[in-house]
Amino acid sequence: MASLEFRGSLYINGQWCEADDGRTVDVINPATEEPVCQVASCGRAEVTRAIQAAVDAAKAWRDMTPYERAVPLKKVADLIRERVDEVAVPLTLEQGKPLAEARLEVLANATFFEWYAEEGTRVYGEIVPSHFAHKRLFHFHQPVGVCMLVAPWNFPLFLQGRKIAPALAAGCTCICRPSTQTPLNLIKLFELLEDAGVPPGVANLVIGPAGACMDPVYADTRVRQISFSGSVEVGKEIMRRSADHVKKIGIELGGHAPFLAFADFGGAAAATFAAQSKFRNCGQSCISASRFYVHEDIYDAFCAQAVAEAEAIVVGNGMDPGVTMGPIAEPGHLEKVLALIEDARSKGAEILTGGGRPEGLDRGYFVQPTVMTGVTADMQIMQEEPFCPIMPIVPFKTFDEAIAMANDMELALAGYIATHDVTTALRAAEEMDAGIISVGDFSPATVLSPFGGLKQSGLGREGGREGILEYLEAKYVSLALDEERL
Protein backbone atom coordinates (compact mmCIF):
# COMPACT_ATOMS: atom_id res chain seq x y z
CA MET A 1 0.00 0.00 0.00
CA ALA A 2 1.27 3.47 -0.85
CA SER A 3 2.76 5.54 1.97
CA LEU A 4 1.64 9.07 2.81
CA GLU A 5 4.80 10.94 1.87
CA PHE A 6 4.50 14.30 0.16
CA ARG A 7 7.12 16.56 -1.42
CA GLY A 8 5.31 19.62 -0.09
CA SER A 9 1.92 21.28 0.03
CA LEU A 10 2.09 24.12 -2.48
CA TYR A 11 3.63 23.92 -5.95
CA ILE A 12 4.56 27.30 -7.41
CA ASN A 13 6.80 27.84 -10.42
CA GLY A 14 8.09 24.28 -10.29
CA GLN A 15 9.02 24.43 -6.60
CA TRP A 16 7.40 22.73 -3.61
CA CYS A 17 6.89 25.02 -0.65
CA GLU A 18 4.79 25.72 2.45
CA ALA A 19 2.82 28.80 3.48
CA ASP A 20 4.92 31.91 4.04
CA ASP A 21 3.64 32.30 7.61
CA GLY A 22 3.75 28.57 8.38
CA ARG A 23 -0.03 28.32 8.65
CA THR A 24 -1.50 24.84 8.20
CA VAL A 25 -4.88 23.12 8.09
CA ASP A 26 -5.73 19.60 9.29
CA VAL A 27 -6.99 17.08 6.75
CA ILE A 28 -9.56 14.95 8.57
CA ASN A 29 -10.49 11.36 7.78
CA PRO A 30 -14.32 11.37 7.75
CA ALA A 31 -14.42 7.68 8.63
CA THR A 32 -12.45 8.09 11.87
CA GLU A 33 -12.69 11.84 12.63
CA GLU A 34 -8.91 11.75 13.11
CA PRO A 35 -6.36 13.95 11.30
CA VAL A 36 -4.64 12.32 8.34
CA CYS A 37 -1.96 15.02 8.17
CA GLN A 38 -1.51 18.78 7.91
CA VAL A 39 -1.04 20.81 4.75
CA ALA A 40 -0.19 24.43 4.13
CA SER A 41 -2.91 27.05 4.20
CA CYS A 42 -1.61 29.86 2.03
CA GLY A 43 -2.45 33.54 1.79
CA ARG A 44 -2.67 36.17 -0.93
CA ALA A 45 1.10 36.45 -1.35
CA GLU A 46 1.54 32.84 -2.39
CA VAL A 47 -1.40 33.02 -4.81
CA THR A 48 0.02 36.21 -6.32
CA ARG A 49 3.33 34.42 -6.91
CA ALA A 50 1.48 31.51 -8.52
CA ILE A 51 -0.31 33.91 -10.88
CA GLN A 52 3.00 35.52 -11.80
CA ALA A 53 4.54 32.10 -12.44
CA ALA A 54 1.65 31.17 -14.73
CA VAL A 55 1.97 34.50 -16.57
CA ASP A 56 5.72 34.06 -17.03
CA ALA A 57 5.30 30.51 -18.36
CA ALA A 58 2.36 31.31 -20.64
CA LYS A 59 4.15 32.37 -23.83
CA ALA A 60 6.60 29.48 -24.01
CA TRP A 61 3.85 26.93 -23.32
CA ARG A 62 1.46 28.57 -25.79
CA ASP A 63 4.11 28.67 -28.50
CA MET A 64 4.87 24.96 -28.26
CA THR A 65 3.17 22.83 -30.87
CA PRO A 66 0.24 20.75 -29.59
CA TYR A 67 2.33 17.68 -30.34
CA GLU A 68 5.06 18.96 -28.04
CA ARG A 69 2.55 19.72 -25.29
CA ALA A 70 1.12 16.23 -25.71
CA VAL A 71 4.38 14.55 -24.67
CA PRO A 72 4.29 15.40 -20.93
CA LEU A 73 0.48 15.08 -20.82
CA LYS A 74 0.64 11.49 -22.12
CA LYS A 75 3.43 10.82 -19.64
CA VAL A 76 1.12 11.98 -16.85
CA ALA A 77 -1.43 9.39 -17.99
CA ASP A 78 1.23 6.66 -17.94
CA LEU A 79 2.39 7.63 -14.44
CA ILE A 80 -1.17 7.69 -13.10
CA ARG A 81 -1.67 4.10 -14.24
CA GLU A 82 1.70 3.02 -12.85
CA ARG A 83 1.24 4.67 -9.45
CA VAL A 84 -2.51 4.53 -8.95
CA ASP A 85 -2.42 3.71 -5.23
CA GLU A 86 -0.11 6.64 -4.49
CA VAL A 87 -3.10 8.82 -5.32
CA ALA A 88 -6.02 6.53 -4.44
CA VAL A 89 -5.03 5.84 -0.82
CA PRO A 90 -4.81 9.54 0.15
CA LEU A 91 -8.10 10.10 -1.70
CA THR A 92 -9.90 7.49 0.39
CA LEU A 93 -8.35 8.70 3.63
CA GLU A 94 -9.38 12.31 3.11
CA GLN A 95 -12.70 11.88 1.29
CA GLY A 96 -14.00 8.58 2.66
CA LYS A 97 -15.04 6.73 -0.50
CA PRO A 98 -14.16 3.03 -0.74
CA LEU A 99 -10.67 2.38 -2.06
CA ALA A 100 -12.06 0.59 -5.13
CA GLU A 101 -14.03 3.72 -6.06
CA ALA A 102 -10.98 5.89 -5.41
CA ARG A 103 -8.91 3.77 -7.80
CA LEU A 104 -11.54 4.19 -10.51
CA GLU A 105 -11.47 7.95 -10.01
CA VAL A 106 -7.70 8.03 -10.32
CA LEU A 107 -7.71 5.91 -13.46
CA ALA A 108 -10.34 8.17 -15.00
CA ASN A 109 -7.80 10.97 -14.74
CA ALA A 110 -5.42 9.00 -16.91
CA THR A 111 -8.03 9.05 -19.67
CA PHE A 112 -8.40 12.84 -19.37
CA PHE A 113 -4.69 13.49 -19.84
CA GLU A 114 -4.32 10.92 -22.61
CA TRP A 115 -7.42 11.98 -24.55
CA TYR A 116 -6.85 15.73 -24.32
CA ALA A 117 -3.19 15.33 -25.25
CA GLU A 118 -4.51 13.96 -28.52
CA GLU A 119 -7.48 16.34 -28.79
CA GLY A 120 -5.07 19.27 -28.60
CA THR A 121 -3.71 18.21 -31.99
CA ARG A 122 -7.24 18.33 -33.46
CA VAL A 123 -8.08 21.98 -32.74
CA TYR A 124 -8.85 22.98 -36.29
CA GLY A 125 -9.56 26.36 -37.83
CA GLU A 126 -11.76 27.05 -40.82
CA ILE A 127 -11.60 28.83 -44.18
CA VAL A 128 -14.86 30.58 -45.01
CA PRO A 129 -15.78 31.33 -48.67
CA SER A 130 -15.97 35.11 -49.03
CA HIS A 131 -18.72 37.09 -50.69
CA PHE A 132 -16.02 39.36 -52.19
CA ALA A 133 -13.50 38.07 -54.74
CA HIS A 134 -10.62 40.03 -53.19
CA LYS A 135 -11.17 38.81 -49.61
CA ARG A 136 -10.02 35.68 -47.82
CA LEU A 137 -11.78 34.86 -44.54
CA PHE A 138 -10.53 32.38 -41.99
CA HIS A 139 -10.40 31.76 -38.26
CA PHE A 140 -8.27 29.79 -35.85
CA HIS A 141 -8.08 29.18 -32.11
CA GLN A 142 -5.67 30.51 -29.51
CA PRO A 143 -5.44 29.71 -25.79
CA VAL A 144 -7.37 31.96 -23.42
CA GLY A 145 -4.31 32.45 -21.22
CA VAL A 146 -3.92 32.04 -17.47
CA CYS A 147 -6.76 30.08 -15.84
CA MET A 148 -7.87 29.49 -12.26
CA LEU A 149 -9.25 25.97 -11.76
CA VAL A 150 -11.32 25.23 -8.64
CA ALA A 151 -12.86 21.86 -7.74
CA PRO A 152 -14.86 20.57 -4.74
CA TRP A 153 -14.38 17.66 -2.34
CA ASN A 154 -16.77 15.01 -3.68
CA PHE A 155 -14.76 13.92 -6.75
CA PRO A 156 -11.72 16.10 -6.09
CA LEU A 157 -9.33 14.42 -8.53
CA PHE A 158 -11.83 13.65 -11.29
CA LEU A 159 -13.14 17.20 -11.39
CA GLN A 160 -9.68 18.79 -11.33
CA GLY A 161 -8.28 16.45 -13.95
CA ARG A 162 -11.20 17.27 -16.24
CA LYS A 163 -10.10 20.91 -16.03
CA ILE A 164 -6.30 20.63 -15.96
CA ALA A 165 -5.93 18.27 -18.94
CA PRO A 166 -7.88 20.34 -21.53
CA ALA A 167 -6.49 23.63 -20.21
CA LEU A 168 -2.89 22.48 -20.65
CA ALA A 169 -3.63 20.76 -23.95
CA ALA A 170 -5.13 24.01 -25.26
CA GLY A 171 -1.93 25.90 -24.39
CA CYS A 172 -3.16 27.64 -21.23
CA THR A 173 -1.29 27.84 -17.95
CA CYS A 174 -3.14 27.43 -14.68
CA ILE A 175 -3.41 27.79 -10.93
CA CYS A 176 -5.34 24.99 -9.24
CA ARG A 177 -7.15 25.17 -5.91
CA PRO A 178 -8.62 22.06 -4.25
CA SER A 179 -11.00 22.02 -1.31
CA THR A 180 -9.07 22.24 1.96
CA GLN A 181 -10.95 19.09 2.99
CA THR A 182 -9.42 17.02 0.18
CA PRO A 183 -6.09 18.43 -1.04
CA LEU A 184 -3.92 15.31 -0.77
CA ASN A 185 -4.96 13.66 -4.04
CA LEU A 186 -4.14 16.83 -5.97
CA ILE A 187 -0.76 17.14 -4.28
CA LYS A 188 -0.02 13.63 -5.51
CA LEU A 189 -1.22 14.50 -9.02
CA PHE A 190 1.13 17.47 -9.07
CA GLU A 191 4.00 15.17 -8.14
CA LEU A 192 3.14 13.21 -11.28
CA LEU A 193 2.93 16.40 -13.35
CA GLU A 194 6.42 17.31 -12.13
CA ASP A 195 7.80 13.83 -12.87
CA ALA A 196 6.22 13.89 -16.34
CA GLY A 197 8.14 17.04 -17.25
CA VAL A 198 5.41 19.69 -17.27
CA PRO A 199 7.52 22.89 -17.27
CA PRO A 200 7.73 25.15 -14.19
CA GLY A 201 4.92 27.68 -13.94
CA VAL A 202 2.62 25.89 -16.37
CA ALA A 203 0.59 24.30 -13.56
CA ASN A 204 0.62 25.69 -10.03
CA LEU A 205 -1.06 24.42 -6.86
CA VAL A 206 -2.37 26.58 -4.02
CA ILE A 207 -4.30 25.46 -0.92
CA GLY A 208 -6.14 27.83 1.36
CA PRO A 209 -9.36 29.65 2.23
CA ALA A 210 -11.53 31.06 -0.53
CA GLY A 211 -10.80 34.71 0.21
CA ALA A 212 -7.04 34.34 0.25
CA CYS A 213 -6.99 32.20 -2.89
CA MET A 214 -9.63 33.95 -4.98
CA ASP A 215 -9.33 37.67 -4.19
CA PRO A 216 -6.00 38.04 -6.08
CA VAL A 217 -7.54 36.13 -9.01
CA TYR A 218 -10.52 38.46 -9.29
CA ALA A 219 -8.26 41.52 -9.05
CA ASP A 220 -5.65 40.46 -11.61
CA THR A 221 -6.58 41.17 -15.22
CA ARG A 222 -3.96 38.67 -16.39
CA VAL A 223 -6.09 35.77 -15.11
CA ARG A 224 -8.46 35.45 -18.03
CA GLN A 225 -10.59 32.48 -17.06
CA ILE A 226 -12.08 30.80 -13.98
CA SER A 227 -13.40 27.24 -14.08
CA PHE A 228 -15.37 26.20 -11.00
CA SER A 229 -17.36 23.16 -9.89
CA GLY A 230 -19.41 23.52 -6.73
CA SER A 231 -22.45 25.12 -5.20
CA VAL A 232 -24.91 27.46 -6.90
CA GLU A 233 -24.27 30.17 -4.29
CA VAL A 234 -20.50 30.19 -4.86
CA GLY A 235 -20.96 30.00 -8.63
CA LYS A 236 -23.12 33.11 -8.58
CA GLU A 237 -20.51 34.89 -6.46
CA ILE A 238 -17.83 33.98 -9.01
CA MET A 239 -20.01 35.42 -11.77
CA ARG A 240 -20.43 38.67 -9.85
CA ARG A 241 -16.76 38.99 -8.92
CA SER A 242 -15.58 38.14 -12.44
CA ALA A 243 -17.74 40.81 -14.06
CA ASP A 244 -15.44 43.76 -13.30
CA HIS A 245 -12.74 42.43 -15.63
CA VAL A 246 -15.10 40.39 -17.85
CA LYS A 247 -13.27 37.15 -17.16
CA LYS A 248 -14.36 34.09 -19.05
CA ILE A 249 -16.06 31.63 -16.71
CA GLY A 250 -17.14 28.01 -16.75
CA ILE A 251 -19.24 26.93 -13.79
CA GLU A 252 -20.79 23.54 -13.03
CA LEU A 253 -23.14 24.04 -10.11
CA GLY A 254 -24.71 20.74 -9.24
CA GLY A 255 -28.12 19.25 -9.72
CA HIS A 256 -31.15 17.43 -8.35
CA ALA A 257 -31.51 14.74 -11.00
CA PRO A 258 -34.91 13.19 -11.67
CA PHE A 259 -35.15 9.45 -12.31
CA LEU A 260 -38.14 8.36 -14.40
CA ALA A 261 -38.99 4.66 -14.18
CA PHE A 262 -41.50 3.60 -16.83
CA ALA A 263 -43.57 0.45 -16.53
CA ASP A 264 -41.92 -1.52 -19.36
CA PHE A 265 -38.52 -1.50 -17.62
CA GLY A 266 -39.79 -3.51 -14.65
CA GLY A 267 -39.81 -2.41 -11.03
CA ALA A 268 -36.94 -4.53 -9.72
CA ALA A 269 -34.65 -3.76 -12.66
CA ALA A 270 -35.40 -0.04 -12.42
CA ALA A 271 -34.66 -0.02 -8.68
CA THR A 272 -31.32 -1.72 -9.22
CA PHE A 273 -30.43 0.85 -11.86
CA ALA A 274 -31.59 3.65 -9.54
CA ALA A 275 -29.57 2.37 -6.59
CA GLN A 276 -26.39 2.21 -8.66
CA SER A 277 -26.76 5.89 -9.44
CA LYS A 278 -28.02 7.02 -6.03
CA PHE A 279 -25.64 5.36 -3.57
CA ARG A 280 -22.31 5.70 -5.39
CA ASN A 281 -19.92 7.90 -3.38
CA CYS A 282 -22.50 7.97 -0.56
CA GLY A 283 -24.83 9.92 -2.83
CA GLN A 284 -22.35 12.79 -2.96
CA SER A 285 -22.39 13.27 -6.70
CA CYS A 286 -23.81 16.20 -8.63
CA ILE A 287 -25.25 13.88 -11.28
CA SER A 288 -26.64 11.22 -8.92
CA ALA A 289 -30.31 10.50 -9.37
CA SER A 290 -32.03 12.11 -6.39
CA ARG A 291 -35.78 12.33 -7.14
CA PHE A 292 -37.37 9.03 -8.11
CA TYR A 293 -40.62 9.10 -10.10
CA VAL A 294 -41.96 5.58 -10.66
CA HIS A 295 -44.94 4.48 -12.74
CA GLU A 296 -47.75 3.23 -10.52
CA ASP A 297 -47.79 -0.21 -12.21
CA ILE A 298 -44.27 -1.01 -10.97
CA TYR A 299 -44.24 1.17 -7.85
CA ASP A 300 -44.52 -1.62 -5.27
CA ALA A 301 -41.88 -3.79 -6.94
CA PHE A 302 -39.57 -0.80 -7.27
CA CYS A 303 -39.89 0.09 -3.57
CA ALA A 304 -39.27 -3.50 -2.45
CA GLN A 305 -36.15 -3.84 -4.59
CA ALA A 306 -34.88 -0.39 -3.56
CA VAL A 307 -35.05 -1.49 0.07
CA ALA A 308 -33.16 -4.68 -0.77
CA GLU A 309 -30.48 -2.72 -2.64
CA ALA A 310 -30.04 -0.25 0.23
CA GLU A 311 -29.85 -2.96 2.87
CA ALA A 312 -27.21 -4.87 0.88
CA ILE A 313 -24.81 -1.92 1.05
CA VAL A 314 -21.90 -2.36 3.46
CA VAL A 315 -21.26 0.96 5.20
CA GLY A 316 -17.88 1.58 6.81
CA ASN A 317 -14.32 2.82 6.51
CA GLY A 318 -13.37 2.98 2.85
CA MET A 319 -10.02 1.35 3.59
CA ASP A 320 -11.69 -1.81 4.95
CA PRO A 321 -12.24 -4.77 2.60
CA GLY A 322 -15.82 -5.35 1.57
CA VAL A 323 -17.04 -1.83 2.31
CA THR A 324 -19.21 -0.50 -0.50
CA MET A 325 -20.19 2.92 0.91
CA GLY A 326 -18.10 5.27 3.00
CA PRO A 327 -19.08 8.25 5.16
CA ILE A 328 -20.48 11.67 4.46
CA ALA A 329 -17.46 13.91 3.85
CA GLU A 330 -17.80 16.32 6.77
CA PRO A 331 -19.82 16.79 9.98
CA GLY A 332 -21.79 19.87 8.91
CA HIS A 333 -23.11 18.05 5.88
CA LEU A 334 -24.01 15.01 7.98
CA GLU A 335 -26.15 17.24 10.19
CA LYS A 336 -27.90 18.59 7.08
CA VAL A 337 -28.59 15.04 5.84
CA LEU A 338 -30.12 13.98 9.15
CA ALA A 339 -32.21 17.17 9.14
CA LEU A 340 -33.53 16.31 5.63
CA ILE A 341 -34.65 12.92 6.92
CA GLU A 342 -36.35 14.43 9.97
CA ASP A 343 -38.07 17.09 7.86
CA ALA A 344 -39.51 14.42 5.56
CA ARG A 345 -40.56 12.22 8.47
CA SER A 346 -42.26 15.12 10.21
CA LYS A 347 -44.27 15.89 7.04
CA GLY A 348 -45.55 12.36 6.63
CA ALA A 349 -42.89 10.44 4.74
CA GLU A 350 -42.55 6.73 5.52
CA ILE A 351 -38.99 5.53 6.03
CA LEU A 352 -38.82 2.05 4.49
CA THR A 353 -35.22 1.48 5.53
CA GLY A 354 -32.40 3.52 7.02
CA GLY A 355 -33.18 6.93 8.38
CA GLY A 356 -30.32 7.49 10.79
CA ARG A 357 -26.80 6.61 11.88
CA PRO A 358 -25.66 2.98 11.40
CA GLU A 359 -25.34 0.87 14.52
CA GLY A 360 -21.81 0.11 15.63
CA LEU A 361 -20.22 3.04 13.83
CA ASP A 362 -19.83 5.49 16.66
CA ARG A 363 -16.95 7.37 15.05
CA GLY A 364 -17.10 8.90 11.61
CA TYR A 365 -19.73 10.77 9.64
CA PHE A 366 -21.81 7.78 8.64
CA VAL A 367 -25.47 7.65 7.64
CA GLN A 368 -27.62 4.71 6.59
CA PRO A 369 -28.72 4.32 2.98
CA THR A 370 -32.32 5.50 3.23
CA VAL A 371 -35.43 4.78 1.17
CA MET A 372 -38.64 6.75 1.76
CA THR A 373 -42.14 6.93 0.32
CA GLY A 374 -45.10 9.21 0.96
CA VAL A 375 -42.93 12.03 -0.34
CA THR A 376 -44.46 15.40 -1.20
CA ALA A 377 -43.13 18.41 -3.09
CA ASP A 378 -42.98 20.61 0.03
CA MET A 379 -40.35 18.42 1.69
CA GLN A 380 -36.81 19.82 1.71
CA ILE A 381 -35.45 16.64 0.16
CA MET A 382 -37.43 17.51 -2.99
CA GLN A 383 -36.54 21.20 -3.05
CA GLU A 384 -32.76 21.35 -2.61
CA GLU A 385 -29.78 19.34 -3.80
CA PRO A 386 -29.50 16.59 -1.15
CA PHE A 387 -25.98 15.23 -1.88
CA CYS A 388 -26.59 12.16 0.28
CA PRO A 389 -27.77 8.51 0.18
CA ILE A 390 -31.51 9.18 0.44
CA MET A 391 -33.94 7.79 -2.15
CA PRO A 392 -37.33 9.57 -2.08
CA ILE A 393 -39.89 7.73 -4.26
CA VAL A 394 -43.00 9.26 -5.85
CA PRO A 395 -45.55 7.42 -8.05
CA PHE A 396 -46.85 8.79 -11.37
CA LYS A 397 -49.60 7.78 -13.81
CA THR A 398 -48.82 9.46 -17.13
CA PHE A 399 -45.80 10.48 -19.17
CA ASP A 400 -46.76 14.15 -19.04
CA GLU A 401 -47.14 14.04 -15.26
CA ALA A 402 -43.66 12.54 -14.89
CA ILE A 403 -42.06 15.15 -17.15
CA ALA A 404 -43.81 17.99 -15.33
CA MET A 405 -42.50 16.81 -11.95
CA ALA A 406 -39.02 16.22 -13.39
CA ASN A 407 -38.83 19.76 -14.78
CA ASP A 408 -40.22 21.50 -11.71
CA MET A 409 -36.73 22.47 -10.52
CA GLU A 410 -34.20 25.23 -11.28
CA LEU A 411 -31.32 22.76 -11.13
CA ALA A 412 -31.05 20.85 -14.41
CA LEU A 413 -27.76 18.99 -14.66
CA ALA A 414 -28.71 15.36 -15.29
CA GLY A 415 -31.77 13.19 -15.78
CA TYR A 416 -32.26 9.41 -15.80
CA ILE A 417 -34.73 7.36 -17.82
CA ALA A 418 -35.56 3.69 -17.24
CA THR A 419 -37.35 2.36 -20.31
CA HIS A 420 -36.76 -0.10 -23.15
CA ASP A 421 -39.09 1.80 -25.47
CA VAL A 422 -37.14 3.96 -27.90
CA THR A 423 -40.02 6.35 -28.48
CA THR A 424 -40.50 6.93 -24.76
CA ALA A 425 -36.75 7.36 -24.27
CA LEU A 426 -36.42 9.93 -27.04
CA ARG A 427 -39.51 11.87 -26.01
CA ALA A 428 -38.34 12.01 -22.40
CA ALA A 429 -34.79 12.98 -23.39
CA GLU A 430 -36.09 15.79 -25.59
CA GLU A 431 -38.57 17.12 -23.06
CA MET A 432 -36.56 16.74 -19.86
CA ASP A 433 -34.71 19.85 -18.64
CA ALA A 434 -31.17 18.53 -18.20
CA GLY A 435 -27.81 18.90 -19.87
CA ILE A 436 -27.03 15.19 -19.47
CA ILE A 437 -29.60 12.48 -20.18
CA SER A 438 -28.93 8.89 -19.19
CA VAL A 439 -31.07 6.06 -20.54
CA GLY A 440 -30.30 2.89 -18.62
CA ASP A 441 -26.78 4.07 -17.72
CA PHE A 442 -26.08 4.81 -14.05
CA SER A 443 -22.74 6.54 -14.72
CA PRO A 444 -22.91 8.68 -17.90
CA ALA A 445 -19.87 10.93 -17.33
CA THR A 446 -17.07 10.27 -19.81
CA VAL A 447 -14.11 12.14 -21.26
CA LEU A 448 -15.63 11.74 -24.72
CA SER A 449 -18.80 13.76 -24.20
CA PRO A 450 -19.75 17.24 -22.98
CA PHE A 451 -20.71 17.52 -19.29
CA GLY A 452 -22.77 20.42 -18.01
CA GLY A 453 -26.22 21.61 -17.13
CA LEU A 454 -29.10 23.93 -17.95
CA LYS A 455 -30.86 26.61 -15.88
CA GLN A 456 -28.98 27.22 -12.60
CA SER A 457 -26.80 24.15 -13.00
CA GLY A 458 -24.13 26.20 -14.71
CA LEU A 459 -22.50 27.60 -17.83
CA GLY A 460 -20.18 25.90 -20.27
CA ARG A 461 -19.18 22.27 -20.74
CA GLU A 462 -16.40 19.96 -19.62
CA GLY A 463 -15.42 16.81 -21.45
CA GLY A 464 -15.50 16.04 -25.15
CA ARG A 465 -14.42 18.47 -27.84
CA GLU A 466 -16.42 21.16 -26.07
CA GLY A 467 -14.16 20.75 -23.04
CA ILE A 468 -11.04 21.99 -24.83
CA LEU A 469 -12.91 24.74 -26.67
CA GLU A 470 -13.71 26.27 -23.26
CA TYR A 471 -10.01 27.14 -22.97
CA LEU A 472 -9.68 28.58 -26.47
CA GLU A 473 -10.69 31.82 -28.15
CA ALA A 474 -11.65 31.95 -31.83
CA LYS A 475 -9.69 34.57 -33.76
CA TYR A 476 -11.17 35.70 -37.07
CA VAL A 477 -9.03 37.15 -39.88
CA SER A 478 -10.35 39.05 -42.88
CA LEU A 479 -7.58 39.43 -45.46
CA ALA A 480 -8.11 41.84 -48.34
CA LEU A 481 -5.87 41.04 -51.30
CA ASP A 482 -4.33 43.63 -53.58
CA GLU A 483 -7.04 43.87 -56.26
CA GLU A 484 -4.56 45.18 -58.83
CA ARG A 485 -2.73 41.87 -58.70
CA LEU A 486 -5.81 39.67 -59.10
- DSSP string for residues in 33-47: TEEEEEEE---HHHH
Taking residue 407's Cβ as centre, other Cβ atoms within 10 Å add up to 15
Q: What is the CATH code for 257-439?
A: 3.40.309.10
3-class state of residue 101 by DSSP: helix
Residue 3 confidence (pLDDT): 59
Catalytic residue among 94, 101, 191, 252: 252
311 part of the active site: no
Residue-level pLDDT at 4:
85
Q: What is the mean pLDDT of the chain?
A: 96
Q: Tell me the pLDDT band of 410, cut-offs 50, 70 and 90.
A: very high
Phi, psi of 205 (to 5 degrees): -120, 125
Q: pLDDT band at 485, cuts 50/70/90?
A: low
Tell me if 317 sits within 8 A of 282, measured CB to CB: no
Residue 380 has pLDDT above 70, yes or no: yes
Instruction: Output the pLDDT for position 486.
Output: 63
What does the pLDDT read at residue 2? 53
309 within 8 A of 265, measured Cβ to Cβ: no
What residue ranges do the domains of the chain occupy?
A: 10-253+457-475, 257-439
CATH architecture assigned to 10-253+457-475: 3-Layer(aba) Sandwich (3.40)
How long a stretch of residues is the chain? 486
Helix, strand and coil percent figures for the chain, each rounded to 5: 45, 25, 35
The Cα 27–Cα 485 span in angstroms is 70
Please compute the mean of the pLDDT values over residues 354-383 and round it to a whole number.
96
State the pLDDT at residue 20.
97
Q: How confident is the model at residue 334 (pLDDT cuts 50, 70, 90)?
A: very high
Residue tagged active-site, from 147, 286, 303, 388: 286
Rounded to an integer, what is the distance from CA 256 to the centroid of its chain? 14
pLDDT digits (tens, 9 = 90+) for 427-484: 999 999 999 999 999 889 899 999 999 999 999 999 999 999 999 999 999 999 987 6
pLDDT tens digits for range 233-247: 999 999 999 999 999
Q: How confident is the model at residue 73, as a pLDDT?
A: 98
| Nearest CA-CA partner of 471 in 311, 297, 248, 319 | 248
Alpha helix ranges (H) inside 359-458:
380-383, 399-406, 422-431
User: Residue type at 4?
Assistant: L
**Alpha-carbon gap, residue 146 to 163, rounded angstroms:** 13
pLDDT of residue 267: 97
The CA distance from 180 to 156, in Å, is 10
Q: State residue 254's pLDDT score.
A: 87
> What average pLDDT score do residues 307-326 get?
97
Let me know if 410 is a catalytic residue: no
In angstroms, rounded to a whole number, what is the distance separating the alpha carbons of residues 206 and 204? Answer: 7
The dihedrals phi and psi of 397, each to the nearest 5 degrees, come to -105, -45
Report pLDDT for 272: 97
Q: What is the pLDDT of residues 140-171, one digit of tens each?
A: 999 999 999 999 999 999 999 999 999 999 99
Per-residue pLDDT reduced to its tens digit, 33-60: 999 999 999 999 999 999 999 999 999 9
Give the residues across from 203 on adjacent strands.
174
Average pLDDT over residues 383-388: 93
C-alpha–C-alpha distance, residues 476 and 94, integer Å = 47
